[in-house]
Amino acid sequence: MAPTKISRRDMLKALGLASAGAALAACGTTPTVPTTSATQAPVAAGEAPAPTTAPAAADAGKKYKILHWAQGPEPTDPNAVLEAGQTRRVAYQLIADQYMKEHPDVEIEWYRFPAGSNVQEWLLARMTAQDAPDIYWANTEDLWPHINKNWALDFTEYMNMPNPYVSGNTAWKDQFQDVAIFSQTGPDGKLYGVNMDGAGVLIVYNQQAFTEAGIESVPKTWTEFIDAQKKLQAKGYIPFGANLNPDTCCYPHWAMAHLYNQLTYNTILTIDDDKNQVITAKEVAQHAQKGDALDWDAYLKVAHLLKEWSQFFPVGYEGTTDYRQLFRQGKVAMYMEGNWAISEFQSSPTPFEINWTAFPVITKDIWPQSTENVVRIQGAWGGMQYHVPGYLKEKEPDKIPIIMDWLMFSSKPENVTNCLKETSMVSLTKGAEAVPELAPFNQPYDRAVPYQSWQTLSSSGLQAEYKLWQAYLPSSMSDQEFIDKAKKDFDAEVQKVLEANPDWKV
Amino acid sequence: MSSTSLRVPGETAQSVIRSRRRFRLGDDWKIALLLAILGFLTFVPVLLLLGLSFKDQQQMADAMWLPSWPLHLRNYVKAARVIRPYLMNSVVFVLGTVSISIVCSTLSAYALGRYDFPGREFFYIAILALLMIPGILTLITTFVVTVKLGLNNTLFGIWLPLAAGAQAFQIIVLRTFFASLPNELFEAARIDGARELTMLWRIALPLAKPIVSTLVVLQILAVWNEFIWPIMVLSDPQRYPVILGILRLTQLITERDPGAQFAGYVLAGLPLLILFAFTSRTFIRGLTSGAIKF
Amino acid sequence: MATLTVRAARPEQRSLRRTARRVRKFWFCYVMMLGTFSLLLTFSYYPAVSAIYHSFTIWDGFRPARWVGLQNYREVFTSEVIFRKAFRNMGLLVLWDVVRAATFPLLGAALIYRLRNEKLAYVFRLVFVLPIVVPAVVGVLVWKQLYDPNVGLMNEILKIVGIKPIAWLSSPSTALPSLMLAGFPWIDGVAMLIYLAGLLAIPSEVIEAAIMDGAGSIRRFFSMEIPLIIPQIRLIVILNVIGSLQSFGWQLLVTRGGPNNATTVPAWEMYQSAISSGRFGVASAVGVVLFILIFTLTLINRAAIRSNVEYQA
C-alpha cells in the first residue's frame, strides 16, 4: 500500500519547496506586535480586587489597568479557602486600594503566576507573545540576559526623579540600600528594576534533635559543625538536608558561596573592577579571559570540604530528595534556608521547636590563609524585585509613568514595612522595618558575599556547576581530575556568556 | 455480486471469534491467572494513586504506601474546589481540537486513499515526514508563528496547532483504512450516479466508525493531558486546562497539599474514565479491526 | 490529396498534458486536502523549516540571528555531554523501548488470543487498556514517589526483604536502569489491542491446518502468529522509536537530565539549550540531527522487518 520509492521528480519538488520555505524563514524571524483577537474563552470567577470607590469616569479620560505580579507580598486570592491556622495576606491589597482611591483612573490587578511553571520558561513565552504582566518579578542574577533581550525596561530616568510620596526625597534611588541598587545595575551601568526587599540565608535546625543528640551549644566553627553532625547521625537523624538538584533551592551554590568567599576573603574583591562590592557576570567573564577569575586552590579546598560534608546528607542527595519535607517529618536535623521560610513556619508550624544559626566559620587549622571572618548571604533576592517588560516602551509608552508612580507609592517605607510584616523578608528600603522574628538574620556579620558561584555568570553556569558536584561528590575522582573538569566546564560556560555578549571580549 | 465475497476489515475477526470454540487451546484458567497477575501489576500505580489521594500529611509521614484509615475525603473536596474552574476549559479545548482535526484528516485520508491523483505519493511522504520531526524542535518556532498570527491566549491558538500536530498519525491510519475498502462498494454507487463526497458520507464513513472513534478517543486523551502547549500560549492562568490547574495544589502555600494533589489527578481523570466507559466497546473494536498497521 | 500529418507529441509534453488532465479530473481531491495542508503549512512545515534555518545561526529568540554555518553542529558532535552521554543514553532507552514494545504487549495479546471464554477475553482487553485514562504525567509522578530513596515504596520493599536501600533515580549508576524499569510490566493497552487485531485477522483455516499438523501453542506463536502480524509489529516499533527519540517527560518532571547527566537525552539537551540557556541555534541543531536519525531509522524499519508470509488482510 504505502509507496516504497520516491521518484526523482518528487524529491526535487520537495527540495524546491524546502528552500523556498527557508528563504521565507530567513526573512521573518523577529515577532511583530500581535493584535489580540477577541475569542470567547470561559473565564473563571473574577479575581479583580474590589475597588473602594467606583472609578470617576468623568474626569480622567483614560483608564489604566496595571497587571502586577507581586510575588512575595501577593495578596491572597479572595476566593481561596484557607485551612485552619493559615493567614490571609492583605497588606499589598490595602496599599493598592489606597492608591486607587487617590488615582481613580488607575486599576491595579494582581497577576497570579501559574503554579508549577518555571519562571524562565514562562518569561520566554510571555516576552515572545508580548503579553506579560506590566510588572513582573525576576531574580537579580538573570539581569544581563534579560537586558540583552529587551525584557527589562530602563529605570534610570525614574530612579533619578524624586519620589513624590516620600517627603524630603530627591531621587528615588536614595531610598534603597546600596546592594539593592547594585543588583539592579546592568553591565552598561543603567538601572533596570527596583528592589524593595532582600533575603538572607541561615541554617535552620531542629532544636529538639540537637538536644537529644547532646549538642549543648550551637556549632560556630567548621570542626564543631562536623562534630555536631556526627552526634546527630549517631542518634539516627539525617544530620543535614541537601540535594544537588538545580530545581530545589538552593544548597550547592549557597554552600559554595559561603565556603569560597570565606577562603578567599582577602583576594575576592580584586576582580571587582567597578568597586561596587559585588562581582558581576561581566567581571567574571573578563577576568576568566585573563585567567584570574577563580582561585583554583581555594576551589579545590571547597570541594574537599563539601565531600567531607556529604557523608551527612540524605540518601539520594545527588538527585531530588525533598529534604524540606524530611525536615518537617523530623528526620532531617537541619538545612540551609532563606528568611522567607519564617512566614511559612509561622503559618504551618513544625511539631518541634526550630532555631536559626549562622554558617560555620573556617578556622586557620583547616585553611591556613583563613581570616576567620563571618560572611553571610544577604542580598537582593527578595520577593519585591520588580521589573517592567522592555516592549512596553514601543507598545504602551504612556503607561510607563503610571507604572513607575505606582511602584514609587509601593516603596514608601510604611508600605514596605506592612508588606514585610507578612512576608518576613529583609528590608532594603531605608526606613522600612523587618519583623522581629528576623532577629537571627540581623546578627552582625563581616561581609555580604560578593561572589555567588558560577550562578554569577548565567543560569546555565549554575546548572553546570551543579553537574560538577553531581560528578565529584559521590565519586572517587582525584584532585587533578576534578580541577581539570572544573576548569573545562567553567571555560565552556564563559564561552557561552561571551557568545551572547561579544562586547565583553578583551 | 454477492456480498459474501466482499472482505471488510474486521469481518474476519468476527468469524474467527465465533468459530473458536472448535479449537483446543489449553485450559483457560492457567492463561487467565497469568493475565490476572499481569493486569494487577499494570494496575498497581493506579491503586497507589488512589491510596495516596485519601491521606493527609500525617498519614503520609507515617505509612505512605499502605492504605490508612480514616479516609480523608476532604482531599477530594479541596481538589474539586480548586480544579473546578478549569474543567470547562479542558472540555472546550478538546471539543474544538478534535472536531477540526478529525474533519480535516478524514477528508485528506479519503482523498489520499481512494484516488490516484497527481502528487498523491508526494503529499503522503510529506505527511509521513512530519511524524519524524521532533516536536521540541518546532516548539519555539510554532509559538512564534502563533504569536505573529495574533493567536496567543486565544482558543484558536490552542485548537489549530494541536489539530495540526494530530494530522499525520490520523491521516496515516485512516488512509490505510480507506484504501482497504473494496472498490466494488463504490463502483455500484458510482454507476448509480453518486457524487464523490456523497460516497464518502454514505459508504465510507459508516464503515469507518470504529476506527474514527478510536482516533477520536485517543485524541481526546492527548488533548486533555496536554500541558506544554497551553502553558506557552495562554497568558491568563484562568484559561488553563485542568491538568495545569492541578499544579496549584503543588505550589501555592495556601493550597499545597500532596494528598489533595493526588486526589486532583484522580478527579482530572474521571471525565476520561466516564468517556471511556461509554466508548470502550467501539474503541476496542476500532483497534482490533486490523486496519492499523504500517 | 492533402495528407494530415499528425506530429506525435514528445513524451514529456504527452505526460504533462496527461497530468494536467488528471489534475482537472481529481480537482476535488485537492480541495479535500485544503484544510489539512493549510494547518500543516502554517503550524508544521513553516516552523520546521524556520527551525532548520536557525540551526545554522546563533539566536536567542529576540535579537537578530547571526549566521554561523556549521558551528552549532560541530559543537553538538564534539560535546561530551550532548554527543556522548545524551546520544548514548538515548540509544539504550530506544533499544529497550523497542524490545519492550515488541515483546510484552505481544505476550499479552497472544495470551488473550488463546482464551476460549469470550467474556473473559473482553474483561482482560478492558483491564489492560483502562490505565491509559490516567495521564502520563501522573504515572511519572507516581513512579517518582515509588523511587524516592527515603520514603519510596521500592526501598520499603527492599527494607522488608533486608537489602540495602538503592538510590534509584538519585544515583548516576542506577538512574538510567530505574528509568527503564518504570512502567513494569510494560503492557501498553493500545499496542496490545493492535497486536490482538492482527492475530484475530489470521484466517481460521490457517490455524486449523497448523493444529492438525500437530503444532503446539508455542510453536504456532513463533512460526506462524508473529510472522503474520509483522505489519502491526512494524507499526508499533516505528511509533515507539519515533516517540522514544523525542521524549523527555521524565527529564522534565523528575530527573532534569541528572544526576550528573546520567539520564540526559538529546531531546532534553535541546529543551535546556533553548529554554534555560537561550541558545536556539544549538537546540535546533540537535533537533535536526534527531530528525535525520528518526528518518533513517524509519527507512531501516521498513526494510529490515520483513516476513515472507506477509498476509494482505
**Percentage of the residues of chain B whose pLDDT score is greater than 90:** 29
Q: Do B35 and C129 touch (CB under 8 A)?
A: no
**What number of C-beta contacts closer than 8 Å exist between B and C?**
290
Is C149 in CB contact (< 8 Å) with chain A? yes
Instruction: Find the mean pLDDT for residues B79-108.
Output: 93
Tens-digit pLDDT profile for residues A125-168? 999 999 999 999 998 778 889 999 999 999 999 999 999 999 99
CA distance A386 to chain B (A): 19
Residue A62 CA to residue A396 CA, distance in Å, equals 13
Handedness of CA A182, A183, A187, A193 (dihedral sign): negative
Residues in a beta bridge with A338: A201
Closest chain A residue to B245, measured at CA: A115
The answer to whether B148 touches B157, Cβ cutoff 8 Å, is no
Structure ipTM: 0.82
With CB atoms and an 8 Å threshold, state whether A43 touches B238: yes
Tell me which of A260-264, A283-287, B109-113, C142-146 is least confident. C142-146
In angstroms, the CA C52 to CA C72 distance is 12
What's the gap between Cα C293 and its chain centre?
12
Four-residue CA torsion sign, A461, A463, A466, A470: negative
DSSP states of A25-48: HHH--SPPPPPPP-------S---
In angstroms, the first-to-last Cα distance of chain A is 63
Tell me how far apart the alpha carbons of residues A233 and A332 are, in angstroms, rounded to a whole number.
10
Taking Cα atoms as reference points, which of A447, A453, A302 lies closest to residue A378? Answer: A447
- Nearest chain C alpha carbon to B289: C197
Instruction: Report the length, in residues, of chain C.
Output: 313
* Chain B neighbors of C283, CB-CB under 8 A: 136-137, 140
pLDDT over 70 for what percent of chain A? 87
In this prediction the pTM is 0.82
Q: How far is C276 from chain A (nearest CA, A)?
A: 6
Among the listed ranges A21-35, A283-297, C269-283, which one has the minimum average pLDDT value?
A21-35
Q: Is A122 on the interface with B (CB under 8 A)?
A: yes
Cβ contact B155–A40 (<8 Å): yes
- Which residues of chain B have a CB within 8 Å of the CB of A121? 231-232
Residue-wise pLDDT for B180-236, tens only, equals 888 888 888 888 877 878 888 888 888 898 899 999 999 999 999 898 899 999 988
- C203 residue type, one letter: P
Q: Is C49 left (phi over 0), alpha (psi -120 to 50) or beta?
A: alpha
CA-closest candidate to residue A201, choices A344, A359, A78, A413: A359
- Tell me, yes or no, if B86 comes closer than 8 A to chain A by beta carbon: yes
Q: Where in chain B is the domain with CATH 1.10.3720.10?
A: 84-288
CA atoms of B171 and A179, how far apart (whole Å): 60
Predicted local distance difference test score (pLDDT) of residue A67: 95
Could you read off the pLDDT of A194-239 as tens digits, one per residue?
Answer: 999 988 999 999 999 999 999 989 999 999 999 999 999 999 999 9
Q: How far apart are CA A378 and CA A358, in angstroms?
A: 12
Confidence of residue A59 (pLDDT cuts 50, 70, 90): very low
B117 → closest Cβ in C29, C231, C270:
C29
CA distance B88 to B86: 6
pLDDT at B243: 87
pLDDT given at position A61: 62
Please say whether the beta carbons of C109 and C196 come within 8 A.
yes
Of A381-390, A468-477, B19-28, the poorest mean pLDDT is in: B19-28
Angle value at C-alpha C134, between A316 and B208, nearest 5 degrees? 140
**Is B112 in Cβ contact with C270 (below 8 Å)?**
no
Residues 123-142 of B with CB under 8 A from C: 123, 126-142
B188 vs A49 pLDDT, higher one: B188
Nearest chain C CA: its distance from B134 CA (Å) = 6
Which grid coordinates belong to B39? 493486569
CA B255/CA A77 separation, integer angstroms: 11
Do residue B121 and residue A44 have CB atoms under 8 angstroms apart? no
Chains that contact C by 3+ CB pairs under 8 Å? A, B
Say which CATH topology domain B84-288 has: MetI-like fold (1.10.3720)
The C-alpha of B161 sits at a distance from chain C's nearest C-alpha, in angstroms, of: 6
> Which DSSP category does A475 fall into?
S
Q: Residue B13: how many CA atoms within 13 Å on its side-chain side?
A: 23
Using DSSP, state whether A427 is helix, strand or coil: strand
Helices (H), chain B: 11-19, 28-53, 57-62, 74-114, 120-131, 139-148, 155-180, 183-191, 196-199, 205-225, 228-233, 242-245, 248-251, 258-287
Residues on chain B touching A35 (C-beta within 8 angstroms): 150
With a cut of 50, say whether residue C21 has pLDDT above it: yes
SS3 content of chain C, % helix, strand, coil (to 5): 70, 0, 25
Domains annotated on chain A, with CATH: 7-196+383-433 (3.40.190.10), 200-379+444-504 (3.40.190.10)
Cα–chain center distance at A383: 9
- Per-residue model confidence as pLDDT tens digits over A418-434: 999 888 888 889 988 88
C-alpha cell at B189: 454507487
| A459 vs A503: CA distance, rounded Å | 20
- Of the pLDDT bands very low, low, confident and very high (cuts 50, 70, 90), residue A176 is very high
More confident residue, B149 or A77: B149
Residue in C64, C150, C254 nearest the CB of A316: C150
**Chain B nearest CA to A125, separation (Å):** 5
Beta strands in A111-164 (DSSP E): 136-137
Res A4: pLDDT: 35
For an interface test with A, give the residue of B77, B152, B228 to mutate (most A CBs within 10 A). Answer: B152
Nearest to B117 among C26, C125, C203 (CB): C26
Contact status of B19 with chain C (Cβ, < 8 Å): yes
Rg of chain B, C-alpha, whole Å: 24
Q: Where are the domains of chain C?
A: 72-113+186-304
Choose the closest CB to B81 out of A14, A81, A116.
A81
Residue B263 has pLDDT above 60, yes or no: yes
Cβ(B121)–Cβ(A1) below 8 Å: no
Give me the pLDDT at residue C50, please: 94
The answer for residues whose C-beta is within 8 angstroms of residue B30's C-beta and 6 or more apart is none
Q: Do B38 and C151 touch (CB under 8 A)?
A: no
Q: Which among C44, C49, C74, C284 is the top mutation candidate for probing chain A, defined by the most A β-carbons within 10 Å of its own β-carbon? A: C49
**Does the structure show a pLDDT above 60 at A272?**
yes
A45 vs B contacts (CB less than 8 Å): 85
Q: What's the pLDDT at B275?
A: 87
**Contact residues on chain A for C256, CB-CB shorter than 8 A:** 245-247, 320
Question: Per-residue b/e over A204-213, b at no fewer than 16 CB within 10 Å?
Answer: bbbbebbeeb
pLDDT category of residue C7 using cuts at 50, 70 and 90 = low
From A247, A316, A496, residue closest to C170, measured CB to CB: A316
Give the chain B residue nearest C157 (alpha carbons). Answer: B65
pLDDT tens-digit series, residues A67-88 = 999 998 999 888 777 776 677 8
| Strands annotated E in chain C | 57-58, 66-67
Rounded to whole angstroms, the Cα distance separating C71 from C69 reads 6
C254: closest chain A residue by CA: A320
Given this model, what pLDDT does residue B283 score?
83
Side-chain half-sphere exposure of A175, counting CA atoms within 13 A: 33
Choose, out of C15, C54, C141, C150, the residue to mutate when testing the contact with A (most A CBs < 10 Å): C150
Closest CA to C281 of A168, A496, A46, A164: A496
φ and ψ of C269, to 5 deg: -60, -35
Residue C310 is predicted with a pLDDT of 44
Chain C nearest CA to B26, separation (Å): 8
Indicate yes or no: CB of C50 within 8 angstroms of CB of A127: no
**Given a cut of 80, is residue A2 above it in pLDDT?**
no
Subunit contact B137:C116, Cβ cutoff 8 A: no
Check: CB of residue B103 under 8 Å from CB of residue B197. no
List all residues of chain C from 271 to 300 with a beta carbon under 8 Å from chain A: 272, 275-279
Instruction: Please give the CATH topology (third level) of the domain spanning C72-113+186-304.
Output: MetI-like fold (1.10.3720)
Whether A15 has its CB under 8 Å from any CB of chain B: the answer is no
Given a cut of 70, whether residue A243 has pLDDT beyond it is: yes
Q: Do C150 and A315 touch (CB under 8 A)?
A: yes
| CB-CB under 8 Å, B147 with A31 | yes
Which runs of consecutive H residues, i.e. helices, occur in A177-322? Answer: 178-183, 207-212, 222-234, 251-263, 281-290, 296-309
CB–CB contact B254 A83 (8 Å): yes
| Chain A interface, best mutation among C12, C62, C76, by max A CB count within 10 A | C62
